[in-house]
A and B are shown apart, each in its own frame.
Chain A
Amino acid sequence: MKNKMRVLWLSAIACNGNTHAFLNYPYMEQFLDDFEFIYHPVIDSEYSLEDIVSKEIPCDILLIEGAISKEFQRADVSVVDIIEKYSKIVQKIVTVGTCATFGGIFRESGYEETSGMHFDQDKPSQKFQDLIDKTISVSGCPVHPEVLVNTLYAIKKNAALKLDNFLRPKEFYAYTIHNGCTRNEYFEYKVDNHQFGKLEGCMFYDHGCQAPFTHGSCNKILWNEINSKTRAGLSCMGCTEPTFPRQNLFSTKKNMAIPENLPVGVGKRVYLTLAGISKAFKIDRLEKKLIDD
């Protein structure tokens, strides 16, 4: 019998979006050969939730989905107590998705002191301070299944993962969502006439796209192996970041006609200068229909 890594999937204040994103992992057979869930929200497990909360079941990795509040219970036990019990025995803790990492949408659900495990939005939280060295965050609303699964394999292999300031593996979060977007040229050459429902155009200028300042690999590894929101024509909503969800998600906040949020590391003055120059290009290919008659 192969030595499988034992994983506890614990949902806190969640929508189960990460659970179902995970079910889209294409090589599930292989995964289930290498890992075993002692509890999972939909996959059958040897133990029930009642077993999990009442006993201490041997476990290697604790996965947490959903925002965390002491007040929120599973099977009549506070999720904080469940986390504390298992975090002592596991090798690693993985906060799965943006709620578990930063608080996300359900940070606002009205429970006492709701936040992510180590961060309340971008502010460090003191609650689980002693567990910070054990934790890896894979943010996203939901998490990308490959990001989650490959992080679990890295833990299994004891591979050294370099993490960013929010404990996210740089392998996935050093990129921006903008990397690999099929609409990049409209951004590069400042062709700013995007309309929804078209293959052409970039949503950064008017429609709230956060891809140039959001970290993740959506356009590098693609969703469901085939597409991404920005490729389809929907703005990046910045769902991997501590600020998710911002307000007015479908429109770009501007000051003096310049987007308030610029690409990571780009200053306003330089952006303005460069935009002016880029606009001098008149690229016929980008001014008309991409697939024309």
Chain B
Amino acid sequence: MIKLIEKIEGEAKLNFNFKDNKIDFVDIEFMSTRNIENILRGKNAFDALVINPRVCGICGHAHLIATVQALEDCYDNLELSNKAKIIRELTLNFELIQNHFKWYYLTMLPLFGHKQQVLKATFPSQLMGKAIALFGGQYPHTSYAIVGGVVCEITEIDIIKLQHYIAQTIKFVEDNLVKTDSENFLTCKDADVLLDYEGDLPDILRQIKKEELLEYGKSYDRFISFGENSYFKKGKSLKTKVSHNISVEHVKESEMPSSFAKNVSFKDKYYEVGPLARAMVNKTPLIADAHKKYGDSIFSRILARVCEISQLLEHSKKLIKDLDLSEESYIEPSIDISQLNSSGYSAVEAARGTLIHKVEIENGIIKNYEIITPTQWNLSGGTKDKLGVSQKAMIGLSDIKTAELVFKSFDVCSVCTTH
């Protein structure tokens, strides 16, 4: 039975095979592509900074940061101020946060039978948009991070404004999502304690428990995360065993006959990426506890994503304290791009997980460009013998409605996948 899954920044076609009234196999098909990698070929390398945010309307900023880092990786000894690094990390955090709000209030709530809450999605995500615009001029689709730093010069007044956007967003979380002091939420180490709080998040978590959905959405319990910064660690997690020694070299893309999306694997195995993966690699106590109790189910996956909102807001407050405004925002590279024959890559954590960009440059012109998006990891479509992560998570379910919930718990992004 074929079902068109809509409103995932586009669509995907899921072809369900049932056996004894249970889902036995799901084929995932993306119906189009936009050939961004071809569009980039032959263009001036810096133009990728303008084109790549247009891979995706909801996580385009991650594509900008991945682009600038891949280009910078092409240089030897490129100088970058700490200030520029912090500012880039901040704006990427803000994009993750706006995404999670939208996912929760626009996508998740309706799947649990509640009314979509447009204003609860737009109010905090607009604040995060302002926070990005303060540095980048606008959101979405700025290109403010350029090779050598960022284009903006920030003043003390800008920092004050930024702190207000963050404080207002934290207040929104405390008034709506988890009705307690953020400090309590962030230091909570027991997923069951969280169920006693009021708020939109505990409501859904309680519903998952009450409706006995706790076993739903489990997959390989195998996670990976490549994007490293001052908050996220690089590593993989098998059940609870974490190792940090992984290399992008072992990430492989392969064509799929039935879909425009390409499969992604690490050492020939499919891994889950995204907030749950990051929390497992980071060993975040609350998520580790949820995982211990409920495994890699929708409970843990939803909790991890929403929890990241508060974690990143808190971490951003710390990052702001580390900003030294007297440092340079931008340090001009000593070599002109037109003299570069080189290649580079980057891995950053986008809202939905690890995003990888690879570039080859010849005399400053893009010879080759490759983009691996988070949704490709989670939605790799395997065979019956070797299922992809989201495929495996849907096996055994008895109805398509629940399968859609499990599928969307990965926060699927069709446009990214069909880059």
Partners in one complex: yes
Q: Which residues of A contact B (CB under 8 A)?
A: 11, 13-21, 23-26, 28-29, 32, 41-44, 48-50, 72-76, 105-106, 108-110, 141-142, 195-199, 218, 223-234, 237, 239, 245, 247-250, 291
Partner of B47 from the list A13, A17, A109, A248 (CB cut-off 8 Å) is A248
Asked whether any CB of chain A lies closer than 8 Å to the CB of B102, the reply is yes
Contacts of B149 in A (CB 8 A): 196-197
In the bound complex, CA of A11 to CA of B146 (Å): 30
| A73 adjacent to B60 (CB under 8 Å) | no
Q: Can you name 30 A-B residue pairings with CB atoms under 8 Å?
A: A11-B10, A15-B57, A17-B57, A17-B60, A17-B140, A21-B57, A28-B122, A42-B7, A42-B107, A43-B118, A44-B7, A49-B11, A74-B11, A109-B33, A109-B39, A196-B151, A197-B330, A223-B139, A224-B133, A226-B133, A228-B138, A229-B137, A229-B142, A229-B143, A229-B144, A233-B144, A233-B151, A237-B143, A247-B44, A250-B46
In the bound complex, CA of A76 to CA of B332 (Å): 49
| A197 adjacent to B57 (CB under 8 Å) | no
Besides the contacts A16-B57, A42-B7, A42-B102, what 6 more A-B pairs have beta carbons closer than 8 Å?
A16-B415, A17-B57, A32-B118, A42-B9, A198-B153, A228-B138
Nearest chain A residue, comparing its CB with the CB of B138? A223
In the bound complex, CA of A17 to CA of B51 (Å): 12
Pairs of residues from A and B, 9 with the lowest C-beta to C-beta distance, nearest first: A197-B330, A197-B329, A223-B138, A232-B137, A16-B57, A229-B137, A17-B57, A224-B133, A233-B151
Asked whether any CB of chain A lies closer than 8 Å to the CB of B274, the reply is no
Q: Which of B322-345 contact A (CB under 8 A)?
A: 328-330, 332
Stretch at the interface among B124-132, B168-176, B189-197, B377-385: B124-132
Say yes or no: A224-B60 contact (C-beta < 8 A), given A198-B153, A233-B151, A249-B47.
no
In the bound complex, CA of A48 to CA of B332 (Å): 50
Q: Quote the shortest CB–CB distance from B357 to chain A (angstroms).
A: 16
Q: Which residues of B contact A (CB under 8 A)?
A: 4, 6-7, 9-11, 31-36, 38-39, 43-44, 46-47, 49-51, 53-58, 60, 84, 102, 106-107, 110, 116, 118-119, 121-122, 125-126, 129-130, 132-144, 146, 148-153, 155, 161, 328-330, 332, 415
Say yes or no: A224-B126 contact (C-beta < 8 A), given A23-B121, A42-B106, A43-B116.
yes
In the bound complex, CA of A18 to CA of B60 (Å): 12
Nearest chain B residue, comparing its CB with the CB of A238? B50
Q: Quote the shortest CB–CB distance from B419 to chain A (angstroms).
A: 9
In the bound complex, CA of A229 to CA of B132 (Å): 11
When A and B form their complex, what is the total count of cross-chain residue pairs whose Cβ atoms lie within 8 Å? 196
In the bound complex, CA of A227 to CA of B155 (Å): 14
Q: Quote the shortest CB–CB distance from B276 to chain A (angstroms).
A: 22
| A226 adjacent to B134 (CB under 8 Å) | yes
Among B57, B130, B135, the one with the most A-chain Cβ atoms within 10 Å of its Cβ is: B57
| A237 adjacent to B50 (CB under 8 Å) | yes
Partner of A247 from the list B32, B43, B58, B130 (CB cut-off 8 Å) is B43
Nearest chain B residue, comparing its CB with the CB of A40? B7
Contacts of B50 in A (CB 8 A): 237, 245, 249
In the bound complex, CA of A218 to CA of B138 (Å): 9
Partner of B44 from the list A26, A141, A248 (CB cut-off 8 Å) is A248
| A234 adjacent to B130 (CB under 8 Å) | no
Say yes or no: A15-B56 contact (C-beta < 8 A), given A28-B119, A197-B152, A223-B139.
yes
| B11 adjacent to A142 (CB under 8 Å) | no
In the bound complex, CA of A248 to CA of B49 (Å): 11
| B116 adjacent to A20 (CB under 8 Å) | no
Contacts of A14 in B (CB 8 A): 57, 415
Contacts of A13 in B (CB 8 A): 32, 34
In the bound complex, CA of A14 to CA of B46 (Å): 22
Say yes or no: A229-B4 contact (C-beta < 8 A), given A196-B146, A237-B50.
no
Contacts of A41 in B (CB 8 A): 7, 9-10
In the bound complex, CA of A56 to CA of B336 (Å): 56
Q: Quote the shortest CB–CB distance from A202 to chain B (angstroms).
A: 13
| A233 adjacent to B57 (CB under 8 Å) | no
| A234 adjacent to B54 (CB under 8 Å) | no
Nearest chain B residue, comparing its CB with the CB of A17? B57
| A230 adjacent to B137 (CB under 8 Å) | yes
Partner of A49 from the list B6, B146, B153, B330 (CB cut-off 8 Å) is B6
Partner of B138 from the list A48, A227, A250 (CB cut-off 8 Å) is A227
Nearest chain A residue, comparing its CB with the CB of B128? A224
In the bound complex, CA of A17 to CA of B63 (Å): 13
Contacts of A44 in B (CB 8 A): 7, 106, 110, 116
| B58 adjacent to A16 (CB under 8 Å) | yes
Q: Quote the shortest CB–CB distance from B362 to chain A (angstroms).
A: 16
Contacts of B11 in A (CB 8 A): 49, 74-75
| B57 adjacent to A20 (CB under 8 Å) | yes
| A233 adjacent to B153 (CB under 8 Å) | yes
In the bound complex, CA of A26 to CA of B130 (Å): 11
Q: Quote the shortest CB–CB distance from B260 to chain A (angstroms).
A: 12
Nearest chain B residue, comparing its CB with the CB of A110? B35
Nearest chain B residue, comparing its CB with the CB of A224? B133
Q: Quote the shortest CB–CB distance from B418 to chain A (angstroms).
A: 10
| B137 adjacent to A231 (CB under 8 Å) | yes
Q: Quote the shortest CB–CB distance from B35 to chain A (angstroms).
A: 5
| B47 adjacent to A225 (CB under 8 Å) | no
Nearest chain A residue, comparing its CB with the CB of B33? A109
Partner of A232 from the list B10, B34, B47, B144 (CB cut-off 8 Å) is B144
In the bound complex, CA of A245 to CA of B116 (Å): 36
In the bound complex, CA of A76 to CA of B137 (Å): 38
Partner of B152 from the list A11, A15, A50, A233 (CB cut-off 8 Å) is A233
Q: Quote the shortest CB–CB distance from B111 to chain A (angstroms).
A: 11
Among A20, A43, A231, A239, the one with the most B-chain Cβ atoms within 10 Å of its Cβ is: A20
Say yes or no: A232-B152 contact (C-beta < 8 A), given A17-B141, A106-B34, A226-B133.
yes
Q: Quote the shortest CB–CB distance from B127 to chain A (angstroms).
A: 9
| B44 adjacent to A73 (CB under 8 Å) | no
Nearest chain B residue, comparing its CB with the CB of A19? B57
Contacts of A223 in B (CB 8 A): 133, 137-139
